[in-house]
Structure 1
Amino acid sequence: MTGKSGKKVRYWLASGALALTAVLSACGGGGSDASGSGGDVTINFLHWRGEDVKALDTIIDKFETANPTIKVEMQTLPSDQYQSTAQAKLSDGSVGDVFASFPGAQFDALAKAGVFTDLSGSSFLDSFNADLIAAGQQDGKQLAVPYQLVYNDPIYNVKLFEKYGLTPPADWEGFLALCQTLKDNGIIPIAFAGADIGPGQFMNTMVMNNEPSEDIFEKVEAGEAKLTDEWWVKTLTQIKELNDKGYFQPDALGTKDAAAGALFVQEKAGMLASGSYQLAQNAAQNPELEQALLAPITVSAGEAKYEGVHTSTFMLAVNSKSKHPEEAKKFLEYLSQPDVAGEYANATGQNVTVDGVSYDSPELKVAEDWTSKKTLFQPRFTIKNGDNQKAVTNSIQAVLGGSAPEEAAQEAQAVIDQNLSKS
């Protein structure tokens, strides 16, 4: 897609398949088949982070200057739509020469569909922290490279905590007392997006010290453990306790991400049940906001195994159906350079998995401080089946809606059992 000057116009899609179709039609087809004058190759970069478009546009301009025969066309979709439609869009290679994947269920589904190109042995892998890109491996192959390092721990307002003499608690009783202090002073303890991202984010720190092993959800999906066991019923019981005591805002179940974030940014809530990925966005909306991360400890201090949760996500990959795989790999290699990864990190407020990157914002330094803490890879993303993952998060929504924890766990387990019977 080019303007009169010949300069390619990049676009951000935020409204679904019709918008995508319209834009592609206007461009005369998908990125993989497009080419400019003089033998230029156009590759398509498909992902869900619309908020990164401005930063990535600058990086792409520099890449194209360094590689004048390669043009990069970028498309984005909302994250929920990306999870449900990406596989279909990637299947014929017409879009997404380079694409992003979530870890867990989406990564597993795309791997089974054969969408990933094996990147094993690529020299640019040496730029990454080897431990942090393990989530992109399957059967001994590096199928995708996680680019972002996220801490899925609630964010808290440092100044509000200081005002009321609060510090991150070391046990469950301390967390309840902290919430009560905030409530007693007219502050919503936890802004919770129960209608969309909240259950999937908050479950991670709530279950991290309750679960009997790191692979418990893998055991559930294999029929070796159940959601009706004590560890998950306890987790649901504690989430229900927070809701019943009024520690979430009214109608938490009907609150979407933007509304929950607004409560925190406006300093009406002391904590936001999201993660480090939202620090920069909050700071942009309220530059006076001082933020840090904490994780609810659901057990006694002596029983706690983990201080928080991390995820290596925004997993970059090359489409196995791409008509320009070498050019796609060249773009991925460029993104892997520490100076480029640093430019991306500091412009977007996202920590990265590339070694040797210097962070220059307070928000990135907040997350960087967590690299020395004992954290667990996000439990939700160890659930490989998308239907099972949804059943787990639905059980949280069920207790917010008034269901007993045991009943909600039984309903979720029924979905697991049904999927097990099909395998």
Structure 2
Amino acid sequence: MEKTMAGFDNPLTVSRRGLLAGAGGLTVLAALAACASPGGGGSRPIKFWNMPWGNTQFTPLDKKITLGYRPASGLPAASYQAVQWANFTTTFASAVASNTGPAVSSGSGTQAFQFSQQNRIAYADELLESWKSNGIHDDFLPGILDTMKTSRGYVAVPYNLDMRALWYRKSLLEKAGVQPPTDWQSYLDVCEALKKNGMFGFGIAAGAQGNGAQIVVGLMINNGGGLFDEEQKPNCVTPENIQALEYIVELVRKGYMDPGSVSYSGTNAQTQWKGDKFAMGFEGPALAQVLGGAVGDDMAIGDPLVSANGTKGALYFPNNIMMYKNTPSQKGSEAFLTYYYQNMKQLWTQNTGAGLPVLRSIAATPEFQADANAVKMVDVWQPICKTWAAPGGDALFSNVALVDSTPAMSTFAQGVLSLKVTPKEALTSLQKTVIAGMK
């Protein structure tokens, strides 16, 4: 599974929130769960496993922060392990099931929700309550904490954000004589002007290593739709979703999408951005940094579009840090995380590409404020973003694993973008697939 956003290897490819279910991780866990039970104790350290969320500077600095932890008397110290994205689902599933895993970790965005079903997660309610006295609790961006809340408690703590926001090339829109769009109709108008200049306004990569499905669902959310209802059950075939897909079909039929986009990877998309072919598109926070050079400097974040239904919205992914029941000390896990959140600001102020921050205090630093695009994503886009759980709610749950960068979603997006199925047919097929995959 390839990284996205801040990983920089191929930032426009499949979501690195990538799912345990999709990679067979839950199967491994289920097979091993009967062989071991949660345990802990002794003088073992708090094992912190983190993913390489950023560029090459991220992991060394993250390790330095972790090993700088000086626990209070009687609490264990912390150790650090970087877990690579390749095969990380199996790495976690096997380690957690055999009680050789971490006490604290990041991972995929739905990992905590899935492990909680196996009774492996230590809920974060007491930790978050303790943070009310030190200011961390009230420092989170609006609505972020709610994405982690389940009927049994908070399964994890938000850590960094990924989203699909509207990017455009400033010079290419200027060349076409148009201003950035503000709604669906003006987006069509800008696309038409770009087409006359040999450019595409609906830049997208829907191949197996692209994020096309995320863009499609993002526009459904933009129109007030989404995939799940208030009871967390799939509800795909709605008027809002059909209208959004009809809009996408219009973009394709009018030639505003590169015909090759149906099979493009993230690398292909980068080539098109750099080659003055993609002038607009919905991508992740690190796009400008990944493209780099003069093209990177030419990139700008647009405004959230007002849909045909009169609504704003976009898809985002709250990545998180979770605690496990297999820990030498639950108080130790909580003490370490308190320290970590009080000191992780450096990951953003030193430009390690850690994604968008979840804390207002980090977003307010001079170093972060120097990036106008990042600031706009936090200030303007984040408040209107919703998770895979939309429109029924924002709190994630285990079954979103069925739609987060899965083969079924790639098939869904490719069917729409290739015009091989109607919007209603595509949504109906997706609904059946998701229902079949639910436990």
With structure 2 as the length reference, what TM-score do the two structures score? 0.73
State the shift of 1:361 in Å: 5.1
2:363 paired with 1:355: no
2:415 paired with 1:398: yes
| CA–CA distance in structure 2, aligned partners of residues 381 and 82 of structure 1 | 24
SS at match of 1:76: coil
Equivalent residue in structure 1 for 2:372, among 365, 380, 402: 365
**2:269 maps to what in 1?**
260
Deviation beyond 6 Å, 4+ runs, structure 1: none
Q: Report the residue type matching 1:96 in the other structure.
A: P
2:416 paired with 1:412: no
On the 8 A contact 1:280/1:363 being kept in 2, the answer is: no
Q: Deviations over 1:132-160 (max 9, x none)?
A: 22212222622211111344213211222
**1:45 maps to what in 2?**
49
Change (3 A) 1:293 1:169: closer
Q: Deviations over 1:356-414 (max 9, x none)?
A: 22152577432323444374333424474233554455322212232222221221122
On the 8 A contact 1:50/1:77 being kept in 2, the answer is: no
On the 8 A contact 2:206/2:261 being kept in 1, the answer is: yes
- Choose between structure 1 and 2: higher helix proportion: 1
After superposition, residues 75-94 of structure 1 pair within 5 angstroms as 75-78=83-86, 82=88, 86-94=92-100
Q: Report the residue type matching 2:47 in the other structure.
A: I
On the 8 A contact 1:102/1:313 being kept in 2, the answer is: no
State the shift of 1:120 in Å: 1.6
Change (3 A) 1:220 1:388: farther
Aligned residues: 377
**1:7 maps to what in 2?**
none
**2:157 maps to what in 1?**
145
**1:20 maps to what in 2?**
none
On the 8 A contact 1:157/1:290 being kept in 2, the answer is: yes
**Larger RCO of the pair (alpha carbons < 8 Å, separation 6+):** 2
2:341 paired with 1:336: yes
On the 8 A contact 2:348/2:368 being kept in 1, the answer is: no
On the 8 A contact 1:132/1:353 being kept in 2, the answer is: yes
On the 8 A contact 1:155/1:272 being kept in 2, the answer is: yes
Change (3 A) 1:377 1:88: farther
Equivalent residue in structure 1 for 2:79, among 45, 66, 71: 71
Change (3 A) 1:116 1:227: same
2:279 paired with 1:298: no
SS at match of 1:238: helix
**2:194 maps to what in 1?**
182
Change (3 A) 1:169 1:355: closer
On the 8 A contact 1:204/1:378 being kept in 2, the answer is: no
Equivalent residue in structure 1 for 2:320, among 315, 321, 331: 315
State the shift of 1:270 in Å: 0.6
**2:221 maps to what in 1?**
208
Equivalent residue in structure 2 for 1:248, among 245, 248, 257: 257
State the shift of 1:325 in Å: 4.7
Q: Deviations over 1:230-269 (max 9, x none)?
A: 2222222222222233222232121111221232244331
| CA–CA distance in structure 2, aligned partners of residues 180 and 107 of structure 1 | 44
On the 8 A contact 1:191/1:271 being kept in 2, the answer is: yes
Comparing 181-190 with 325-334, greater Cα deviation is found at: 325-334
Q: Report the residue type matching 1:398 in the other structure.
A: G
Q: Percent identity?
A: 16
**1:4 maps to what in 2?**
none
Q: Cα RMSD over matched residues?
A: 3.6
On the 8 A contact 2:69/2:336 being kept in 1, the answer is: no
Q: Deviations over 1:149-198 (max 9, x none)?
A: 34421321122223323223233221111112112112222331201342
Q: Which runs of 5+ in 1 are unaligned?
A: 1-11, 18-31
SS at match of 1:336: helix
Q: Report the residue type matching 1:415 in the other structure.
A: T
On the 8 A contact 2:349/2:367 being kept in 1, the answer is: no
Equivalent residue in structure 2 for 1:56, among 48, 56, 59: 59
Change (3 A) 1:119 1:53: farther
